Amino acid sequence: MAPNTGRPARTRQRRGEGQWALGYREPLNPNERSKKDDAPLNVRARIENIYAHRGFDAIDPGDLRGRFRWYGLYTQRKPGIDGGRTATLEPEELDDEYFMLRVRVDGGALTTQQLAVIGEVSQVHARDTADITDRQNIQYHWIRIEDMPAVWEKLEGAGLTTMEACGDSPRVILGSPVAGIAADEVIDGTPAIEEIRRRYVGDPAFANLPRKFKTAVSGLPDVAHEIHDVAFIGVVHPEHGPGFDVWVGGGLSTNPMIGQRLGAWVPLDEVPDVWAGVVSVFRDYGYRRLRSRARIKFLVKDWGAERFREVLENEYLGRALLDGPAPEVPERPVDHVGVHRQRDGRYYVGAAPVAGRTSGTDLVAVAKAAERAGSGRVRLTPQQKLVVLDVPETEIEGLRAELAELGLQTDPTPWRRGVMACTGIEFCKLAIVETKARAQELVADLERRLADIQAGVDTPVSVHLNGCPNSCARIQTADIGLKGQIVTDANGDQVEGFQVHLGGGLGLDAGFGRKLRGHKVTSAELTDYVERVVRNYVAGRADGERFAQ
Ligand code: SF4
């Protein structure tokens, strides 16, 4: 509900944006209708009591393609439907009877026991699939609705959840994979992440937002904070010490926007309240008429940071926030790959699966290897990587060897290190092209072809592949961003390919790559193209110059 501001709700304007705070309470599109008809979190009981017993065909369509998301469930794409048909088919023609299931891992933080449970669930229920997403989630495939009660029992028994892993809700909170151990950390954001999750995930007051809501909290600029709905990034206030700088309104997809600083400094223990205030502004003032304008970035763009802060302070927090400085920006992207000393003298060891692809079997093996090395903690990263924490110096080489045997290299080539890919046509119903397998091929090809210049590349070259115009793999922020689409090949045939964006980045290079209009490559030409671009960059750059420069 909107807070009582003492102002009458404004009368309905012609073609308003559907903001609740301005009196638009009647749903203006089918998604809003579905959420009003039945609170999405209620679907859990129906899954456990009805659908798991009666099977896929018994599922109500409104649950199947709507409310299931609040528990991390999406139908996956029926195999064998090519990308050219994605936009022409009805949703039910694309739906397979198996599900993708996302496990939210707030802050990417797992114990080795939790990692082992995630792996075991995959082995039993998900055909051994387990991708690490660039939002620090684990994504399973091939889940049957009949198995969901058992899946939840196992995951929740280990303290894990799928609640609000998807849907118009506060999704997984990104956090630094090295929170609490990094030597250069400004402040450990973990208590704030845990408190937001404890208080608000599953809270009905925040379970019907205009659209998805992405949060990052980190004492280091290692969580792509510029492209979040809200982000709290560590900064030292000259009088008050370490705390957080607040950013709102970032996001990618088809209208990419860099978040705006509110210019406010927030101490650690106030982060959950300020977070709840920002989400409340979004819930009440966010645009609900058109799904394409329902992210908070559109509201922030229209209002500007100053008005947003005023509304937050006056209508929701009831107090002014302290002004504060901007955080430092990293010179180059931070991905935590390799061996690094922690501030307690032990080490963390980051490994690079290709484009986040792992398996349940591999994750169980990583958990065991980490434990043998004396560690009880692992982290998933926003770059689709995996980090083992708290490793004594004497155990490093043994752990690295075990990880390498699993294909998880701790000293990867720049191409293996810099590649990310979204789910793509293998499982995603919106996809137009293949991505994960393409990324695997690309890395193998580049490792062979570019071996001669590899030693001279001192910064990873990021290559991000998306299966459609959405930007799940953050293509606009990559050195080479590849947006899947159907393109025309040299023979005039319509084939899978990519629109190229060049020179995007975050940190010092924050900005979105240039979409080069004529720059389209077929999937078959992809390796040749990337090789050419990288060779030109290496040949033409000055020492230490990053790609985006
Ligand atoms: Fe699916 Fe498109 Fe997102 Fe890839 S970018 S996972 S194809 S919606």
Phi first, then psi: what are they for 99, rounded to 5°? -120, 150
- Of 481, 485, 530, 532, whose CA–CA distance to 509 is shortest? 481
**Residue type for position 259:** G
Average pLDDT over residues 192-213: 98
User: 89-93, 181-185, 217-221, 396-400: which range is least confident on average?
Assistant: 89-93
Residue 545 has pLDDT above 80, yes or no: no
Give the residue from 113, 133, 171 showing the smallest Cα distance to 377.
113
Average pLDDT on 73-94 reads 90
Closest atom of ligand 1 to 467 CA is 7
Amino acid (1-letter code) at residue 29: N
187 CA distance to ligand 1 middle (Å):
34
Report the residue among 171, 428, 471 best suited for mutation to probe ligand 1: largest number of ligand atoms under 8 A from its CB.
Answer: 428
Q: Give the binding-site residues of ligand 1, using a 6 Å CB cut-off.
A: 422-424, 428, 430-431, 466-468, 470, 472
pLDDT in tens, 122-163: 999 999 999 999 999 999 999 999 999 999 999 999 999 999
Residue 502 has a pLDDT of 86
Backbone angles phi, psi at 480, to 5 degrees: -125, 105
Span 3-35, pLDDT tens digits: 444 444 454 445 689 999 999 989 989 999 999
Confidence of residue 441 (pLDDT cuts 50, 70, 90): very high
Q: In DSSP terms, which residues pair with 175 in a beta bridge?
A: 217
Separation of CA 157 and ligand 1 centre (Å): 31
For the cut 90, the answer to whether the pLDDT of residue 256 exceeds it is no
Question: What is the four-CA torsion angle of 523, 525, 526, 527, rounded to 10 degrees?
Answer: 130
Per the CB < 8 A criterion, the answer to whether 426 and 434 are in contact is yes
Structure tokens at 299: 């509201």
d(CA 219, ligand 1 centre) in Å = 29
Contact 327, 245 (CB under 8 A): yes
Bridge partners of 505?
511
Q: Which atom of ligand 1 is nearest to the CA of 435?
A: 4
Q: Which of 216-225, 247-256, 299-308, 322-331 has the highest mean pLDDT?
A: 299-308
Neighbours of 142 (CB within 10 A): 18
Percent of the chain with pLDDT over 70: 93
Dihedral angle at the C-alpha atoms of 40, 46, 47, 50, nearest 10 degrees?
-160
Please give the average per-residue pLDDT across 51-58, as a whole number.
97
Over 159-200, what HEC string results? Answer: CCECCCCCCCCEEEEEECCCCCCCCCCCCCCHHHHHHHHHHH
Q: Tell me 259's DSSP state.
A: -
Neighbours of 456 (CB within 10 A): 11
Please list, in sequence order, all residues whose beta carbon lies within 8 angstroms of the beta carbon of residue 482, skipping any fewer than 6 positions away.
Answer: 463, 464, 465, 466, 475, 498, 499, 500, 501, 521, 526
Atom of ligand 1 at shortest distance to CA of 425?
7
Q: What is the residue-wise DSSP string for 319-386? A: SPPEE-PPPP--SS-----EEEE-TTS-EEEEEB-GGGEEEHHHHHHHHHHHHHTT--EEEE-TTS-E
Q: Which of 129, 315, 136 is nearest to 215 (CA)?
A: 136
Structure tokens at 180: 């609490």
Q: With H, G, I as helix, E, B as strand and everything else as coil, classify residue 233.
A: strand
pTM exceeding the 0.80 threshold for the entire prediction: yes
Give the mean pLDDT of the chain. Answer: 92
Tokens of 164: 């609000």
Atom from ligand 1 closest to the CA of residue 470: 5
Q: Pick the residue with more confidence: 470 or 5? A: 470
| Ligand 1 centroid – CA 269 distance (Å) | 36
| pLDDT value for 537 | 82
What is the whole-number distance in angstroms between the Cα of residue 130 and the centre of ligand 1?
Answer: 17
Does position 265 have pLDDT exceeding 60, yes or no? yes
User: To 5 degrees, how large is the angle CA 290–CA 296–CA 302?
Assistant: 85
Q: Which residue has the higher pLDDT, 85 or 9?
A: 85
Share of the chain above pLDDT 90, in %: 78
The stretch 364-381 carries a mean pLDDT of 98
Pocket test for ligand 1, best of 472, 499, 501 (most atoms within 8 A of CB): 472
Please say whether the beta carbons of 386 and 376 come within 8 A: no
CA angle, 515 then 429 then 496, to 5°: 45
Burial of 6 (0-12, 13-18, 19+ CB in 10 A): exposed
- pLDDT of res. 1: 42
Q: List the structure tokens of 462.
A: 């990021």
Pair of tokens at residue 246:
């607040």
| Contact between 112 and 367 (Cβ < 8 Å) | yes
Over 99-157, what HEC string results?
A: EEEEEECHHHEEEHHHHHHHHHHHHHHCCCEEEECCCCCEEEEEECHHHHHHHHHHHHH
Helix (H) or strand (E) holding 31: helix 30-37
- For ligand 1, the distance from its centroid to the CA atom of residue 189, given in whole angstroms, is 29
- For residues 193-204, give the mean pLDDT: 98
The number of the ligand 1 atom at minimal distance from the alpha carbon of 431 is 7
Ligand 1 centroid to Cα of residue 422, in Å, is 6
Written as six digits, the tokens of 526 are 């992809």
Q: With 80 as the cut, is the pLDDT of residue 243 above it?
A: yes
Please report where in the chains the tokens 């609640």 appear, as a residue. 163
211 confidence band (pLDDT: 50, 70, 90): very high
CA of 435 to the centre of ligand 1 (A): 9
Q: Inform me whether the pLDDT recorded for 281 exceeds 60.
A: yes
What is the radius of gyration, based on Cα positions, of the chain?
23
Q: Which of 288, 269, 103 is nearest to 199 (CA)?
A: 269
Nearest CA to ligand 1 atom 3: 472
Counting from 1 in the atom list of ligand 1, the atom nearest the Cα of 429 is: 1
Model confidence pLDDT, tens digit, residues 31-49: 999 999 999 999 999 999 9
Q: How far is the CA of 499 from the centre of ligand 1 (A)?
A: 14
Ligand 1 midpoint to CA 346 (Å): 38
Q: Do 103 and 140 form a contact (C-beta atoms < 8 A)?
A: yes
| Atom 2 of ligand 1: nearest residue by CA position | 468
Q: How many angstroms does the Cα of residue 427 sit away from the middle of ligand 1? A: 9
Q: Helix crossing, 396-405 with 360-372: angle to 10°?
A: 170
pLDDT of residue 188: 97
Closest atom of ligand 1 to CA, residue 471 = 5
Give the long-range contacts of residues 479-484, CB within 8 A, separation 24 or more. Answer: 479/418, 479/503, 479/504, 479/505, 479/513, 479/547, 479/548, 480/513, 480/530, 480/533, 480/547, 481/513, 482/521, 482/526, 484/83, 484/424, 484/425, 484/431, 484/432, 484/433, 484/435
Q: Give me the pLDDT at residue 122, please.
A: 98
The encoded tokens of residue 301 equal: 């763009």
Split at pLDDT 50, 70, 90, the class of 495 is very high
Encoded amino acid at 198, one letter: R
How far apart, in whole angstroms, are the C-alpha atoms of residue 312 and residue 447? 50
> Best mutation site among 100, 211, 357, 430 for ligand 1, i.e. most ligand atoms within 8 A of its Cβ?
430
**d(CA 457, ligand 1 centre) in Å:** 30
Residue for token pair 């397979």 = 96
Nearest atom within ligand 1 for CA of residue 423:
6
Predicted confidence at residue 546, as pLDDT, reads 56
